[in-house]
């Protein structure tokens, strides 16, 4: 014969198993929810970073475009560097006595275009 204690424990054994499995399932679901929440937070943070970097990239492109425009380069070189437009009909020759200006001859004027490639005309 079974004692009362054995009957009670055998009757509640499935109940304890169900409670234990339920607790494990609830703990597992809680862990999954926590991880999902953490990943959602990281994803939103990355999306904000992407938006910020996209805006910064657009601003840098605008800045680069303005810095590389020919009008901007010309005005900067004229105002900040003191550059002037070259006049090809006047040649400045540096000598020991100082600077002398002479107009080039017709032959020299044509050959001056070769100075761009490193050739010199005497």
In a domain, 13, yes or no: yes
Model confidence pLDDT, tens digit, residues 72-116: 888 888 888 888 777 666 666 666 555 444 555 555 555 555 555
Q: Which of 37, 33, 57 is nearest to 45 (CA)?
A: 37
Instruction: Examine the domain organization and report whether 21 and 53 are in the same domain.
Output: yes
Domain count, the chain: 2
Distances, alpha carbon 61 to alpha carbons 31, 57, 66, 92, in Å: 45, 6, 9, 41
In a domain, 92, yes or no: yes
In a domain, 78, yes or no: no
Instruction: Examine the domain organization and report whether 51 and 90 are in the same domain.
Output: no
Instruction: Examine the domain organization and report whether 69 and 108 are in the same domain.
Output: no
Domain that holds residue 69: 4-73
Model confidence pLDDT, tens digit, residues 4-42: 666 656 778 888 999 999 999 999 999 999 999 999 999
């Amino acid at each position: 014969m079974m004692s009362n204690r054995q009957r009670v424990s055998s009757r509640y054994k499935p109940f304890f198993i169900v409670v234990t499995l339920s607790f494990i399932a609830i703990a597992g679901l809680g862990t999954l929810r926590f991880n999902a929440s953490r990943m959602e937070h990281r994803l939103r943070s990355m999306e904000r970073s992407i938006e910020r970097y996209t805006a910064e990239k657009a601003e840098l492109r605008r800045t680069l475009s303005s810095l590389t425009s020919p009008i901007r380069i010309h005005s900067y070189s004229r105002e900040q560097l003191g550059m002037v437009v070259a006049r090809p009909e006047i040649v400045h020759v540096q000598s020991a006595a100082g600077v002398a200006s002479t107009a080039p001859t017709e032959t020299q004027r044509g050959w001056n275009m070769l100075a761009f490639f490193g050739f010199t005309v005497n």
